[in-house]
Chains A and B, each alone.
Chain A
Amino acid sequence: MSRRARWAKILQHVLLIPFLVFALFPFYHMALTSLKQDRELYDRFAVPLIIKQGPTLEHYTKLIRETEFLTWTKNSLMVTILATTASIVIGTIAAYALSRLKFRGVNSFGTGIFVTYLVPTSLLFLPLAQVVNWLGLADSKWALILTYPTFLVPFCTWLLMGYFRTVPKEVEECAMVDGATRIQALTRIVLPIAIPGLVCATLFAFTLSWNEFIYALTFTSSSEQITASVGVTSELIRGDIYFWGELMAGAILGSVPIVILYVFFLDYYVSGLTAGAVK
């Protein structure tokens, strides 16, 4: 490497530093706050960027012992797993039909899916709250399991259509010439080839439903039914006194499941992000 090229490379990394600080600093500060002792946290003359008086897990133990945090996390897990599973199944068969089969209305249905994909949840939460009431699901996590697929299914369908199109038609036709039915061709040939797509769709559906906020905030309110995001943002803030340590501990722990998935499947997140938007 020539001297000039090396300097250029160092310069590129230096230019990246502000971006990385911007992206990561809020997380660093949240983690720091959650580990600080109250004495230091509310000392206006202390340096907020480091822990000087020793870290403590007291906020975490308080969060788990004195609040319903574990219930909220369980609710989040249940809603997310059920909504994701249902959406992947519905989305997979719909995507297969749209990308492979010829039948009346296939194009207009494809357009319909795409349009639904673009409808923001904040446009529909008021009337959906009424529908949820009529179904007798007011203040129940089942309302979330029922409504989350409205944005997950269009997303999964759209993402998987892109993956199914990359499976050569001939492979499937070969199997069918050899006597496989269409459904066998789907389950034994197409789905195994499209596994990266299925992993990607599952990860995104999981993340989207774990992160969902407006429906959860609107359709559920009691402490036994709410999800982690809603619990931390509404139940931990009482009156004008904020318990910043516990609040940040809750925000950190509420993100842990997503961070775990993210660390293991980073490449899928990158490819799914681009495929979902561009394809």
Chain B
Amino acid sequence: MAIGTLPAARAHARLPWRTRVREMLDRERVLGPLFITPALILIALLVAYPFCMALYFALSNAFIGRPSHFVGFRNFVNLWDADAFRQTFQNAFVFTGISVAFKLVLGISLALLLNQQLWFKRMIRGAVLLPWVIPTALSTLGWWWMFNSLYSVVNWTGISLGLLDPPGPNWLGQRHYAMAAVVTVNIWRGLPFFAITILAGLVAIPKELYEAAQADGAGPWARFWYVTLPMLKPVLAVVVLFSTIFTFSDFNIVYVLTHGGPINATHLFATYSRMIGLESGRIGEGAAVSLYLFPLLVFVVWAQLRFVRKQAY
């Protein structure tokens, strides 16, 4: 008899328990924290915690497979005294400055062209966006081959068109040419992001503004300068901030194309940090290299939160 009543009693008890859970889940104060918990745990364990570790490493003499000691800011000071790091520091600014400037100017031009009534509009957009979706490490291999010292198709074309004197530059073997090469690939890869995002900004500009400007006698140049550019400002700010942080911290292109060479002429923070931290095992110093990215990151985050998100809401 006791055995017979047990399941029934349990079923009876289960009902209010289930209802209670259901009611709890309906409360925003319960469901909200519950829903963000997985993301929170992930970010705490695999972003915030490693970040604190990076801070600690940077202040210690950590070396692969050896206990580490606190050394204060010595890594940062040592780095600053090393020529290779100074070169990297300079490279990062040259690389980012030139790439972002080109991407911005070319991106606005391309967006203006794409905003016209075009034949094969979809196909053209698809072609323009392609470099951005293909794995960068793999497409950079293609560029590596194009800049090859013996079989460079870039040189072949340049010589055939009479633009270069044979045999043409050894792109990846000479410092300024190597920098030009990595900048070119970065522009190639980043231009679609600029063009498509700016195009979205262009589409959103009300047509009435152009009509009004035209009625006031503004020519195409004046309309671009006094209507298009001011209206695009918020979009341009977002795109430039985004691109700055991701260009500054770029790894793939330099790693595949030049490995930082020739003689550190194209090293960026990420590639140099990998070389110091993993290839030579000085984790402490390697972490300090990548933390030089941090001030820029803080600035970009601050600028985004301050100016950009305010406009969005």
Contacts and interface: CB of A to CB of B under 8 A. Distances in A.
Interface of A: 9, 12-13, 15-16, 19-20, 22-24, 26-27, 29-30, 33, 41-42, 44, 47-49, 89-91, 93-94, 96-98, 101-106, 109, 111-116, 118-131, 146-147, 149-150, 153-154, 157, 181-183, 207, 210-211, 213-214, 217-218, 228-230, 232-233, 244, 247-248, 250-251, 254-255, 258-259, 262-263, 266, 269-270, 273-274, 277-279
A264 B246 CA distance: 28
Contacts of B239: 277
B28 interface: yes
Contacts of A114: 301, 304-305, 309
A262 B129 CA distance: 10
Given A90-B42, A218-B274, A247 B136 contact: no
Given A98-B36, A104-B29, A131-B49, A213 B146 contact: no
Given A19-B110, A122-B249, A29 B135 contact: no
A220 B238 CA distance: 34
B38 A90 contact: yes
Given A103-B29, A233-B138, A273-B196, A122 B127 contact: no
B126 interface: yes
Contacts of A250: 138
A213 B137 contact: yes
Given A126-B283, A211-B134, 18 more contacts: A13-B118, A19-B106, A29-B142, A30-B139, A49-B156, A101-B28, A101-B35, A122-B269, A123-B294, A124-B50, A153-B43, A181-B26, A211-B135, A213-B252, A213-B255, A218-B274, A255-B138, A274-B197
B256 interface: yes
A122 B291 CA distance: 10
Interface stretch (B7-15, B51-59, B175-183): B51-59
Contacts of A29: 142, 145-146, 153
13 contacts: A30-B142, A89-B38, A97-B31, A101-B32, A120-B245, A131-B49, A150-B43, A153-B43, A210-B135, A228-B138, A270-B125, A274-B200, A277-B239
A231 to B, nearest CB: 10
Contacts of B191: 19, 22-23
Interface string B286-313: 1100110110010011001100010010
Interface pairs A-B: 4 shortest CB-CB = A103-B32, A122-B270, A120-B249, A97-B35
